[in-house]
Amino acid sequence: MAILVTGGLGYIGSHTVVELLNNNFEVVIVDDLSNSEKFILKNIEEITGKKPAFYPFDLKRKELLTQVFDAYSIEGCINFAAYKAVGESQEKPIDYYENNLFSLINILQEFKTRGLSNFIFSSSCTVYGQADEMPIDENTPLKMPESVYGKTKQMGEEILIDFAKAYNRKVSLLRYFNPIGAHPSSKLGELPIGVPNNLVPYVMQTAAGIREKLSVWGNDYPTVDGTAVRDYIYVVDLAKAHVAALKRLLSNQSEESTIDIYNLGTGTGSSVLEVVKAFETANNVEVPYKICDRREGDITVAYANANKAEKELNWKSETSLEEALRTTWEWQKYLNSRNN
Ligand code: UD1
């Protein structure tokens, strides 16, 4: 019995593959390397001492996907494969819809015809938009996200809910808050292509001198110091939540449809400047920054109520912001050593 992990060489995917292997799951990775690199596979093998099966193809290639399902006895899927750059999604909406939704549907066609269940979907807190109240729990009303990227997440959720209901299958929708950090071995981490959009990769590259200054997008928000607040969750903690969600689906004997939904965050919000300070303290480095205008489409504040995941998955975030940011810096040093 194997777990199909799509996008398994990506940022969250690779950390989850390690946790799955450490929990003795057989893993089959499909990843087209469009936003990941082959050395990550070697590093997964070094960390775990195990060799997951790996197929480098685009999930839109249905005939190749069918061959993987023919070759393995798949008992579940964790679907990370998706484009994820918010800005780019506005410029290339059709590419985003095609990539993120067709690949999902191709896997679900295989699941449907083969009678398979246990599907875990990477969703995002972006499905809540700017929620009226904090913290955000799973009953917080959804708002159609502004970005095409966010819409593909919300549509993906709807597709999976309909799939589960129509065919009595089990699915888990995991709504991540802001994933950060790298593996303690420093062999896995986020590999931004070009100029990073997300805060922590930009902070990391600024500290390393690759970027001159961090632009802090807005200091006139109604928050503790005027900068926007998010819930930064350590990627290894997040990876562990996937294993817990998978085990829950696998042990669920119900013949009925199951739709598990969890917010995965720490429960604590941190402002942009708090993240900058925490990075400086954790790593004893300087992060030069300048205050700029707000970034279009940004919300003021988002942090999770993750009590449901704690109760049902026996999971909670364990790693502090500073510790997560320390692993980020170690990862940058590892990348520097690879480039030298
Ligand atoms: C973004 C996406 C979200 C997606 C998530 C994935 C938007 C509007 N939302 O979340 O849908 O799920 O990434 O990780 O893009 N910041 C700066 N300077 C920078 C970069 C960021 O000040 O150079 C600030 C932002 O304004 C924001 C915070 O840092 O307040 C976090 O930004 P980011 O890491 O991009 O994440 P989100 O915007 O929360």
- pLDDT for 270-321, tens place per residue? 999 999 999 999 999 999 999 999 999 999 999 999 999 999 999 999 999 9
With a cut of 80, say whether residue 26 has pLDDT above it. yes
Give the mean pLDDT of 22-42: 97
In degrees and rounded to multiples of 5, residue 278 shows phi and psi of -65, -40
Say what the pLDDT of residue 314 is: 98
- Cβ 154 under 6 angstroms from ligand 1: no
With a cut of 80, say whether residue 163 has pLDDT above it. yes
CA angle (106, 109, 113) in 5-degree steps: 150
With a cut of 90, say whether residue 66 has pLDDT above it. yes
CB neighbour burial string for 218-228, b if at least 16 within 10 angstroms, e if fewer: bbebebeeebb
Task: Choose among 297, 150, 303, 286: nearest CA to 218.
Answer: 297
How many angstroms separate the alpha carbon of residue 199 from the centre of ligand 1? 6
Give the mean pLDDT of 59-80: 98
| Residue pair 331/182 in contact by the 8 Å Cβ criterion | yes
Q: Where are the domains of the chain?
A: 2-180+233-265
- Cβ neighbours of residue 211 under 8 Å, at least 6 residues apart? 195, 202, 205
With a cut of 90, say whether residue 339 has pLDDT above it. no
Cα separation, 222 vs 277, in Å, equals 19
With a cut of 90, say whether residue 193 has pLDDT above it. no
- Cβ neighbours of residue 119 under 8 Å, at least 6 residues apart? 76, 77, 79, 107, 108, 111, 160, 163, 169, 170, 171, 172
CB neighbour burial string for 77-110, b if at least 16 within 10 angstroms, e if fewer: bbbbbbbbbbebbeeeeeebbebbbebbebbbeb
- Cβ 87 under 6 angstroms from ligand 1: no
Task: Give DSSP secondary structure letters for 105-144.
Answer: HHHHHHHHHHT---EEEEEEGGGG-S-SSSSB-TTSPP--
Calculate what percentage of the chain has a pLDDT beyond 90. Answer: 97
How many angstroms separate the alpha carbon of residue 168 from the centre of ligand 1? 36
Task: Choose among 29, 25, 73: nearest CA to 48.
Answer: 25
List 11, 96, 149, 234, catalytic entry: 149
Cα separation, 109 vs 219, in Å, equals 47
With a cut of 80, say whether residue 340 has pLDDT above it. no
- Cβ 294 under 6 angstroms from ligand 1: no
- pLDDT for 239-272, tens place per residue? 999 999 999 999 999 999 999 999 999 999 999 9
CB neighbour burial string for 120-131, b if at least 16 within 10 angstroms, e if fewer: bbbbbbbbbbeb
CATH classification for the domain delimited by 2-180+233-265, as one of 2.60.40.730, 1.10.40.50, 3.30.9.10, 3.40.50.720: 3.40.50.720
Give the mean pLDDT of 210-224: 98
Please give the C-alpha separations between residue 220 and each of 138, 199, 229, in angstroms, as whole numbers: 29, 18, 12
How many angstroms separate the alpha carbon of residue 249 from the centre of ligand 1? 31
Q: Which atom of ligand 1 is nearest to the CA of 214?
A: 23
**Among protein residues, the one whose CA lies closest to atom 25 of ligand 1:** 217
Say what the pLDDT of residue 102 is: 97
- Cβ 233 under 6 angstroms from ligand 1: no
Cα separation, 338 vs 330, in Å, equals 13
In this prediction the pTM is: 0.98
With a cut of 90, say whether residue 99 has pLDDT above it. yes
